[in-house]
Amino acid sequence: MRYSCNICGKGLEQKILKDIKSNGDYYDIFFCDYCMTGITTPMPEPDEALSLYSSESYRTDTGTRFNPIIEFFIYVFRLKRKGDIKRYIERGSILDIGCGRGLFLHIMKKDGWGTAGVEVNKETAFYASEMYGLNVAVGEPSNWNFPNESFDVITINHVLEHVHKPAEYIKKCKELLKKEGLLFIAVPNISSLQAVVGKELWFHLDVPYHINHFSTAGLLDLLKNNSFKILDIRHFNLEYNPFGWLQTLLNFSGIEKNLFYNSLKNPKIRKTIRLRKGKILLTLALLPLFIPISFILSVAETILKRGGTIEVFAIKE
Ligand SMILES: [Zn+2]
């Protein structure tokens, strides 16, 4: 079967990673020579993708995914995102695509913003509207009923890599944003040093959850083709990059793939993993060495403009 690129539609010839094992299935990643984007094949069907997100290993309906210390850091990171947005627009209306449990929108609402969200998982959307009184749409862009040109800001934080038709999302953002409205996008970077070194063991590769694997060039092309003007591109993210290195290094050391990450999730999830004492002890022994190395590597790759995350701030022209 011949695959075509999710972003630009050209035929895909070059396989960059093959036989990546996940939950007993095997996946390949093809790379588009035109827009420099990787695509997971076979692509999970939309129904299959939905059930992946409903499974307890990815999200929970109870509101938290991690232990309280990690949840605290997540809260701090959301506050930082608020600060990043307010550097451009002091206050207005915001749409968060892939709003999850709604924590970020809750923070914005408390700051006086008009808020709305989009979430693919029905239960998670229900949680966000019950818990924080948020207006959350469910489904794909064609199902959203927001009026055109109604938002000052749209954020898409680590979502575009999951969707079947990312170009449709960007077109929809163009319709929904006011003129000179701000679009913020963050995605993992397939051209990053951690991706290139980690290959199929790279933590943020995350197949089959991640369908699209963006490079900076590919993401910028997608935005420019939809009349967005790029304001800022960043490659360092404290929430994603050092941990990306840390879990990748642990994966290299031969310990069960992503064991450390899985063990940080909440106890309900933790119980479902067959934790082996020896592997946990080995992980704990390696952390004092790997944590500083991960920070150093994250800074180094950022200086080389090949950080594990791409964050783009753009305005609609
Ligand atoms: Zn392409």
Kindly tell me if the per-residue pLDDT of 100 is higher than 90.
yes
Q: Report the range of poorest mean pLDDT among 20-24, 108-112, 196-200.
A: 20-24
Least confident segment among 2-6, 36-40, 246-250: 2-6
Residue 218 Cα, ligand 1 centroid: separation in angstroms?
A: 8
| Count of other CB atoms within 10 angstroms of residue 117 | 27
Q: How far is the CA of 51 from the centre of ligand 1 (A)?
A: 27
Q: Give the pLDDT of residue 272.
A: 61
Separation of CA 167 and ligand 1 centre (Å)? 11
pLDDT on residue 110: 97
89-109 mean pLDDT:
96
- Whole-number Å distance, alpha carbon 113 to ligand 1 midpoint, is 36
C-alpha of residue 217 to centroid of ligand 1, in Å: 11
The mean pLDDT value for 79-99 works out to 97
The rounded Å distance from CA 13 to ligand 1 centre is 11
How far is ligand 1, taken at its centre, from the CA of residue 4, in Å? 8
Residue 222 confidence (pLDDT): 92
Average pLDDT over residues 168-173: 96
pLDDT at position 35 is 82
- φ, ψ (nearest 5 deg) of residue 61: -90, -10
Q: Give exposure, 254-268, as e/b (b: 16+ Cβ within 10 Å).
A: ebbebbbebbbbbee
Residues 124-170: pLDDT tens digits? 999 999 999 999 999 899 999 999 999 999 999 999 999 989 999 99
Cα(222) to centroid(ligand 1), Å: 10
Say which residue, 24 or 188, is predicted with more confidence. 188
Ligand 1 center to residue 27 CA distance, Å? 19
Average pLDDT over residues 268-282: 69
- What is the per-residue pLDDT for 262? 83
* Residue 46 scores a pLDDT above 50: yes
Q: What's the chain's average pLDDT?
A: 89
Among 26-30, 48-52, 298-302, name the one with the lowest average pLDDT. Answer: 48-52
Q: How far is the CA of 39 from the centre of ligand 1 (A)?
A: 9
Q: Where are the domains of the chain?
A: 45-243+300-316
Percent of the chain with pLDDT over 70: 90
pLDDT at 314: 98
More confident residue, 205 or 262: 205
Quote the ligand 1 centre to 31 CA distance (angstroms). Answer: 8
Mean pLDDT of 175-198: 96
Per-residue pLDDT, 273? 59
Return the pLDDT at 14. Answer: 80
Tell how far the Cα of 228 is from the centroid of ligand 1, in angstroms. 18
pLDDT at 61 over 50: no
User: What are the CA-CA distances from residue 114 to residues 96, 104, 147, 188, 269 (Å)?
Assistant: 11, 13, 14, 28, 34
Confidence (pLDDT) at 1: 66
Predicted pLDDT of residue 60: 46
Spacing, Cα 9 to ligand 1 middle (Å): 6
Query: For residue 265, how far is its CA from the centre of ligand 1 (angstroms)?
Result: 35
Centre of ligand 1 from the C-alpha of residue 188, in Å: 17
Looking at domain 45-243+300-316, does it have CATH number 2.102.10.10? no
Tell how far the Cα of 139 is from the centroid of ligand 1, in angstroms. Answer: 25
Q: How far is the CA of 142 from the centre of ligand 1 (A)?
A: 23
Q: What is the pLDDT of residues 109-128, one digit of tens each?
A: 999 999 999 999 899 999 99
